[in-house]
């Protein structure tokens, strides 16, 4: 089974690389092949890690996100000549500029590969397969309470707009309560479900978890919660499939695949519908350069446009190429500029990155209740410095530190495989969107980690008393 998984990854990358290489100009072909090679190396190394050890989720998933945002998006753009969806500032598309951008990506991913190597060899002796220590005793009372709590929290958030994606809050809670409320709904509910109901893989609990995740996703008008939940399910399958017999493997896939499509479809449908309703009620003027127009939102509900909507989401939602293109075109890159970006605390429609990607909008007066902005991503953010060697070093150091955090997560929750995976997953999704309000990113991550640690201490004390 491991050989088949490796073969699928290799064939996917090789096929698209060869197909893209046929149509590329000779001057850009060598650098493109180098980029494809380093992504292939990162993919195979991270895949080998997660198939060998319980940890390694962080590197594998982040590599997949980078691969889709850079190598895949660039390849598809060359094959189809589609325009990039996100604004890319004053970037002029020519071979020399593209080569320069590809070098930034290659150097950044080289730092990522070195971090992987360091983590693998430093932590290898601590990695043990603890599957036999794990159990999946489901706490039915906890399941009922989690579902009821998720429904109540989601309904309150939609009703009072404590923190909804793409909207300014309608209700301001004291002591950063809006962000805490958001984290409880999007992370706390999923964490509790995994800890009490889905410690290891269970077909029945996968469906209940999809229900909880869909409620939480709709409650914040986002698709991210349902995506992060199924990422956990995916890794549970990958790390257990080598121990399963053929019948269980087939049965699990027959449950997971339709469950994912049904719940993701309903989540997109309902969250988009609620967002359209709130946009209409807010009577906001939405810029077509950064927002989906109301007509486009209505069009999403037409049956013949469903697949087109999913295709646009698949290609347009991966952060990557646009960010590096925009930063490369910005003439004032420096370490001073990078420090200014690090100091950004929050934004209200025009972020620090807006001056790079959409200079004409940066100084505009945004009075709309609707908020939308582009995200540079970590590699583009590190490139604010103007130094590709800083991109290498920063990517290496930061991803290595997150890997250390992952090691602690799996060590503390050794009896709940899914919890360790979930912690790695939300770190990846947060870091992948790095570059907008870095201080807020650190606060959210710190609050999540500290809350989980407190939960760990309390449950350990409770178990000792029992």
Which are the contacts of 291, defined by CB distance < 8 A and separation ≥ 6?
A: 370, 372
Which are the contacts of 153, defined by CB distance < 8 A and separation ≥ 6?
A: 181, 184, 185, 189, 216, 219
User: Looking at residue 85, what DSSP letter applies?
Assistant: S
Which are the contacts of 379, defined by CB distance < 8 A and separation ≥ 6?
A: 66, 104, 105, 108, 320, 323, 324, 391, 395
Q: What is the reported pLDDT for 347?
A: 65
- What values do phi and psi take at 330, rounded to 5? -75, 125
Which are the contacts of 248, defined by CB distance < 8 A and separation ≥ 6?
A: none
- Residue identified by tokens 């060598």 is 30
Taking 50 as the pLDDT cut, the residues of the chain under it are: 131-132, 284-301, 303-304
Q: How far apart are CA 218 and CA 273, in angstroms?
A: 10
Q: How far apart are CA 425 and CA 211, in angstroms?
A: 19
Contact at 8 Å (CB) between 241 and 256? no
Q: How far apart are CA 32 and CA 19, in angstroms?
A: 12
Q: What is the reported pLDDT for 297?
A: 41
Contact at 8 Å (CB) between 337 and 100? no
Q: What is the reported pLDDT for 301?
A: 45
Q: What is the reported pLDDT for 26?
A: 86
Mean pLDDT of all residues belonging to the chain:
86
Q: How far apart are CA 333 and CA 341, in angstroms?
A: 11
Q: What is the reported pLDDT for 291?
A: 41
Which are the contacts of 171, defined by CB distance < 8 A and separation ≥ 6?
A: 160, 161, 162, 178
Query: What are the boundaries of each domain within the chain?
Result: 132-318+438-465
> Over pLDDT 70: what percentage of the chain?
85
Q: How far apart are CA 29 and CA 231, in angstroms?
A: 33
């Amino acid at each position: 089974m491991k050989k088949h998984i490796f073969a699928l990854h290799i064939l996917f990358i090789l096929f698209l690389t060869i197909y893209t290489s046929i149509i590329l100009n000779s001057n850009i072909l060598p650098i493109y092949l180098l980029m494809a090679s380093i992504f292939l190396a990162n993919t195979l190394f991270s895949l080998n890690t997660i198939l060998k050890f319980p940890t390694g989720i962080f590197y594998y998933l982040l590599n997949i996100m980078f691969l889709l945002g850079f190598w895949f998006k660039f390849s598809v753009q060359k094959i189809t000549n589609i325009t990039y969806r996100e604004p890319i500032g004053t970037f002029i598309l020519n071979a020399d500029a593209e080569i320069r951008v590809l070098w930034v990506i290659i150097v950044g991913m080289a730092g990522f590969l070195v971090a992987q190597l360091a983590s693998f060899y430093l932590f290898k002796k601590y990695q043990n397969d603890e599957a036999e220590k794990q159990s999946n005793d489901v706490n039915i009372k906890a399941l009922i309470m989690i579902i009821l709590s998720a429904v109540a929290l989601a309904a309150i958030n939609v009703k009072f707009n404590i923190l909804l994606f793409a909207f300014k809050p309608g209700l301001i809670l004291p002591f950063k309560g809006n962000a805490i409320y958001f984290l409880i709904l999007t992370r706390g509910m999923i964490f509790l479900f995994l800890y009490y109901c889905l410690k290891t893989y269970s077909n029945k609990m996968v469906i209940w978890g999809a229900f909880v995740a869909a409620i939480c996703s709709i409650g914040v008008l986002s698709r991210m919660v349902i995506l992060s939940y199924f990422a956990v399910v995916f890794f549970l399958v990958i790390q257990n499939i080598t121990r399963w017999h053929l019948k269980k493997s087939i049965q699990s896939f027959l449950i997971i695949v339709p469950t994912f499509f049904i719940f993701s479809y309903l989540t997109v449908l309902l969250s988009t519908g609620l967002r359209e309703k709130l946009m209409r009620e807010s009577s906001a003027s939405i810029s077509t350069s950064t927002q989906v127009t109301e007509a486009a939102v209505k069009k999403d509900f037409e049956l013949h446009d469903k697949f087109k909507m999913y295709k646009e989401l698949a290609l347009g939602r991966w952060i990557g190429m646009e960010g590096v293109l925009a930063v490369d075109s910005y003439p004032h890159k420096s370490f001073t500029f990078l420090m200014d970006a690090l100091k950004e605390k929050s934004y209200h429609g025009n972020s620090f990155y807006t001056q790079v990607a959409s200079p004409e909008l940066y100084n505009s007066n945004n009075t709309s209740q609707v908020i939308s902005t582009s995200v540079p991503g970590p590699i583009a953010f590190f490139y604010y410095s103007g130094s590709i060697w800083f991109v290498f070093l920063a990517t290496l150091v930061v991803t290595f530190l997150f890997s250390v955090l992952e090691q602690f997560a799996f060590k503390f929750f050794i009896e709940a495989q899914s919890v360790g995976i979930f912690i790695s997953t939300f770190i990846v999704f947060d870091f992948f969107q790095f570059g907008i309000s870095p201080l807020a990113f650190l606060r959210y991550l710190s609050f999540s980690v500290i809350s989980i640690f407190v939960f760990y201490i309390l449950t350990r004390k409770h178990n000792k008393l029992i």
